[in-house]
Amino acid sequence: MIKSISLLILCGIFSLNILNAENPVYLNKKYPVEKRVNDLLKRMTLEEKIGQICQYIGPGHIRTTEKNLTIEQVRKRTSNTLYPGVHSSDIEALNEQGLIGSCTKVLTAEETNYLNSLIQKSRLKIPILNARGGVHGDGQGVGTTFYTTPISLASSWDTALIYRIAKETSMEMRANGCSWNFAPNIDVVTEPRWGRVGETYGEDPFLVTQMGLNMIKGLQEQANGNSMNMIACAKHFIGGGQSVNGTNGAPSFIDERSLREVFLPPYKAAIGAGVATMMGAHNELNGVPCHANKGLLTDLVRTENGFKGFYVSDWLDIEYLVSKQHVAENMKEASFQAIDAGMDMHMHGPGFFEPVVELVKEKRISEMRIDESVRRILEAKFRLGLFDEPEYDLKVRDSIVFNKAHQKTALEAARKSIVLLKNEKNILPLTKGKYKNIMITGHSANSQAINGDWYDKQPDDNIVTILEGLKQIDPDCSFDHFDVGNILQKLTETMITDAKERASKAELAIVVVGEFSLRWDWENRICGEEADRAEINLYGLQSQLVASIAESGTPVILVIVNGRPNSVEELEKKIPAIIEAWEPGCKGGTALAEII
């Protein structure tokens, strides 16, 4: 399958050899971007052009699914591989042939450098765009600074702060080998049950616009007209925050006036700020899938609002035109609909390249239309400097990632995002030394869950949990941690009874409740992408836990760690102090302890 792609390009290569001078214009950084793009485009075969609009998962990530499989087993399309029938070596071969435009889930600069070394073997040596989600820090990188989540930052209303966070995020992501950030999420959210509320800036179109603008500016940070630090991605266009029943990817029904007055303004502002890319939405809008909606992608965004960057599909959403939305009978028809609507790059994997080659040769899609997409992608690569400096300096990374300045920003963000909801009889702030014995419990009391979604497990030393923060602030106090575990589904009646008994022996109880969004424990998460709920009250037996501890007679401070609004209406009557911590990030424990 994939190996057959190389056969398609052989006949076109030799006819273009005459263009391959020793110092071609496109490899000479003295020329302006437009001239370099034009020079490169005329050198490319049709297959090389279509390769640029294809994105794949990086081979390193694929290898994790191959550890116990032989190449023969993979070739037999085992369901246990990421791409059935495709081995990681096939992805490497595509890089060597210059038939990949972008990779995602490449998590280190070392792997990026390795992939670019493969690309240097290709005819034109066009570097890849390495992309991943850095919604609130480079959470999919290793040992990075992890800031408070976007919904938390919305509580700060501090646009200068988010600009600084975006600048620092871009520095860390580039140092880790990534040049394209799938952020910000500027969906306006009207459905609180949606699991992805935490990666947005909420329901206020003005606030979402301002926060998104500053995120984009900080990420891209143009030093001059022809350069940028990394490229941002405004997502998901459009209406996912008002899906039916709050389910991720479910249809949205939005009237024209609401679409333009509520949901469009953040995207319109992003276009005005020069956002380099936009991502389509999983959902249908008023019965038409967003990935096949020419009225949205071309007429509204490009023609009416002047978008100059390129579109990328969301995760396998072109395939979903066949398998979920049933508007195309096969992948060839789905590819036609998406490209005709205005899509520029496929996320992700095999099954897209060959149909698009066929569509162009059948003249259903013109090569000029493919050139439009490729031109946009190449322009971004030139402006990022990927042709001129394809190798990442590993020594530079050590001075940037999780440095003291970035940690300081993370602490400031956590401080400004935490909200005091109730403080009856001025129980807060606690006077240092007043309490000698404080009981603390709840699933997020001593957990990395304070970091939220879009986050891979980080070194424990990089994270200050709530319990650790309290111990640092008041080392003379005895904190009795009653551990109920991290998994909300495993909270039991016996634990609740025991917690009440422990609380009765303490002078004060701090109970940390809310949600669990960590995607590296996907099966147990109840918040985040693909973790939608039917209601917004506290999950499971958490309300009973809080009420039982309150019945012990010990004063209770309730702390909520959550990625979307949680209802605590009944508990509010029983608790003297309530703090909305949201998901405060790697320094969240320090910030919360200071506030308490």
**Interhelix angle for 404-417 vs 588-595, to 10°?**
50
From 221, 348, 210, select the one nearest 275 (Cα to Cα): 221
The residues, ordered by sequence, that sit 6+ positions from 79 with a Cβ below 8 Å of its Cβ are: none
Bridge partners (DSSP) listed for residue 231: 180
What's the confidence (pLDDT) of residue 182? 97
What's the confidence (pLDDT) of residue 71? 83
Q: What are phi and psi of 594, to 5 degrees?
A: -60, -45
From 355, 458, 484, select the one nearest 402 (Cα to Cα): 458
Can 5-13+32-397 and 418-595 be said to share one CATH topology? no
What's the confidence (pLDDT) of residue 389? 87
What pLDDT digit, counting tens, does each position of 191-249 carry? 999 999 999 999 999 999 999 999 999 999 864 445 568 999 999 999 999 999 999 99
In angstroms, rounded to a whole number, what is the distance separating the alpha carbons of residues 330 and 23? 43
Phi-psi label, residue 297: left if phi above 0, alpha if psi -120 to 50, beta otherwise: alpha
What's the confidence (pLDDT) of residue 433? 82
Phi-psi label, residue 349: left if phi above 0, alpha if psi -120 to 50, beta otherwise: left
CA distances, 398 to each of 96, 402, 418 (Å):
29, 8, 30
Per-residue pLDDT of the chain (596 residues; tens, 9 = 90+): 555 555 554 444 444 444 445 689 999 999 999 999 999 999 999 999 999 999 999 999 899 888 877 888 877 777 667 898 899 999 999 999 999 999 999 999 999 999 999 999 999 999 999 999 999 999 888 789 999 999 999 999 999 999 999 999 999 999 999 999 999 999 999 999 999 999 999 999 999 999 999 999 999 986 444 556 899 999 999 999 999 999 999 999 999 999 999 999 999 999 999 999 999 999 999 999 999 999 999 999 999 999 999 999 999 999 999 999 999 999 999 999 999 999 999 999 999 999 999 999 999 999 999 999 999 999 999 999 999 988 888 888 889 999 999 999 999 999 999 999 999 989 999 998 889 999 999 999 999 999 999 988 889 999 999 999 999 999 999 999 999 999 999 999 999 999 999 999 999 999 999 999 998 888 899 999 999 999 999 999 999 999 999 999 999 999 999 999 999 998 999 999 999 999 999 999 999 999 99
Tokens 């394809």, residue located: 390
| Sign of the Cα pseudo-torsion (201, 206, 207, 211, in order) | positive
Query: Which one-letter amino acid corresponds to residue 131?
Result: A
C-beta separation of 339 from 358 below 8 A: no
Please give the biggest Cα pair distance in the chain: 86
From 254, 237, 134, select the one nearest 184 (Cα to Cα): 134
What pLDDT digit, counting tens, does each position of 324-383 carry? 999 999 999 999 999 999 999 999 999 999 999 999 999 999 999 999 999 999 999 999
Distance of CA 512 to the CA centre of its chain: 26
What fold, for 5-13+32-397? TIM Barrel (3.20.20)
Give me 431's structure tokens: 């006077």
Vertex 133, ends 218 and 183: CA angle to 5°?
40
Domain ranges of the chain: 5-13+32-397, 418-595
Query: Which one-letter amino acid corresponds to residue 432?
Result: K
C-alpha count within 13 angstroms, C-beta hemisphere, residue 448: 18
| Helix residue ranges per DSSP H, 44-189 | 46-52, 59-63, 71-75, 88-96, 109-119, 150-154, 159-175
Please tell me the pTM assigned to this model.
0.93
What fold, for 418-595? Rossmann fold (3.40.50)
C-beta separation of 566 from 537 below 8 A: yes
